[in-house]
Amino acid sequence: MAITIKSEREIELMTQAGRILEIVHEEMEKALKPGMTTLDIDAIGEEVIRSYGCEPSFLNYNGYPASICVSVNEEVVHGIPSRNRIIQEGDIVSLDAGLIYKGYHSDAARTHAVGEISEEAKKLIEVTRQSFFEGIKYAKEGNYLFEISGAIGRYAAGFGYGVVRELCGHGIGTHLHEDPEIPNFPMMRRGPKLKAGMTLAIEPMITLGTEKVRWLDDDWTVVTRDGKLSAHYENTVLITKGEPILLTLGGKIK
């Protein structure tokens, strides 16, 4: 499938979708406390999504059974919310949420600290976030997609971290996953040329140890093979002729 270029009207809808998703993340972050279950977080996320007249895009996507992905510690992504999983002080929790507003998708993820966490966990979260910002320095019409990929991967690898290769970012619009696929590591090719109006979900997943992951028996939860911590950071990004617009982060570079 070709990479879609969004019209002014579509960009307006995706802007609104992104604003709402930001609020969803703010509410989940405020609620996140030791003693809660990962299913409690899912319920809060879903409720906020629906309160804005939106649909949770992950729910039933390829059979995914919840609205939010809640991935704790060594869980990289796609942690299925459970009433048996209690969030504890010292955990790091990656929250990934997506919604549909008037037919348009938005997708974003954040990793949060629960109470006091180790220095190495703090640094992992911060470097993962910063790797996204290193990547989007290249997110501009006329550049090539894999310049973003290379910048993300090189930055994180520079700290000795694992850069997950088995999962990628993606185009986004009327579908949650559109072309192109967006790796988080350097590629031998330059990839597609970026054009204004492309909307991309860029989402580095970075680990404290190995880059290798495996899938749990639930067929969703992705964990690090060595059991070490993993962090995730994602925004839906609009490519323009100038600076990119972060649709799920205040509409600008922060």
**Considering the complex, what minimum distance in angstroms separates the CB of residue 158 from ligand MF3?**
25
* Residue 61 contacts which entry, Co ion, ligand MF3, none (Cβ below 5-8 A, type-dependent): ligand MF3
Give Cβ neighbours of residue 145 (< 8 Å, ≥ 6 apart): 180, 182, 190, 191, 192, 193, 194
* Residue 22 contacts which entry, ligand MF3, Co ion, none (Cβ below 5-8 A, type-dependent): none
Does residue 78 interact with ligand MF3 by CB under 6 A? yes
CB 249 within 8 A of CB 110: no
Minimal CA–CA distance to 228: which of 207, 213, 212?
207
Sign of CA dihedral 162, 180, 134, 132: negative
Member of 52, 64, 144, 159 binding ligand MF3 (CB under 6 A): 64
**Considering the complex, what minimum distance in angstroms separates the CB of residue 125 from Co ion?**
18
Distance CA 133, CA 239 (A): 14
Distance CA 179, CA 192 (A): 10
Write out the binding residues for ligand MF3, residues 104-123 only, by CB under 6 A: 107, 109
CB 94 within 8 A of CB 71: yes
CA atoms within 13 A on the CB side of 57: 21
Minimum CB distance to Co ion smaller for 40 or for 203: 203
Member of 10, 74, 96, 134 binding ligand MF3 (CB under 6 A): 96
Does residue 58 interact with ligand MF3 by CB under 6 A? yes
Write out the binding residues for ligand MF3, residues 211-240 only, by CB under 6 A: 234
> How many of the other CB atoms lie within 10 Å of CB of 54?
22
Member of 201, 208, 238, 249 binding Co ion (CB under 5 A): 201
Does residue 22 interact with ligand MF3 by CB under 6 A? no
* Residue 85 contacts which entry, Co ion, ligand MF3, none (Cβ below 5-8 A, type-dependent): none
Write out the binding residues for Co ion, residues 70-129 only, by CB under 5 A: 107
**Considering the complex, what minimum distance in angstroms separates the CB of residue 229 from Co ion?**
20
**Considering the complex, what minimum distance in angstroms separates the CB of residue 234 from Co ion?**
5
Distance CA 154, CA 24 (A): 31
- Reduced to 3 states (helix: H, G, I; strand: E, B; else coil), residue 138 is coil
Q: How many helices (H) and strands (E) does the chain have?
A: 4, 15
**Considering the complex, what minimum distance in angstroms separates the CB of residue 119 from Co ion?**
29
Write out the binding residues for ligand MF3, residues 156-195 only, by CB under 6 A: 170
Task: Give first-to-last CA distance, the chain, whole Å.
Answer: 32
Minimum CB distance to Co ion smaller for 96 or for 147: 96
Chain contacts with ligand MF3 (rule: CB under 6 A): 58, 61-62, 64, 69, 78, 96, 98, 107, 109, 170, 201, 234
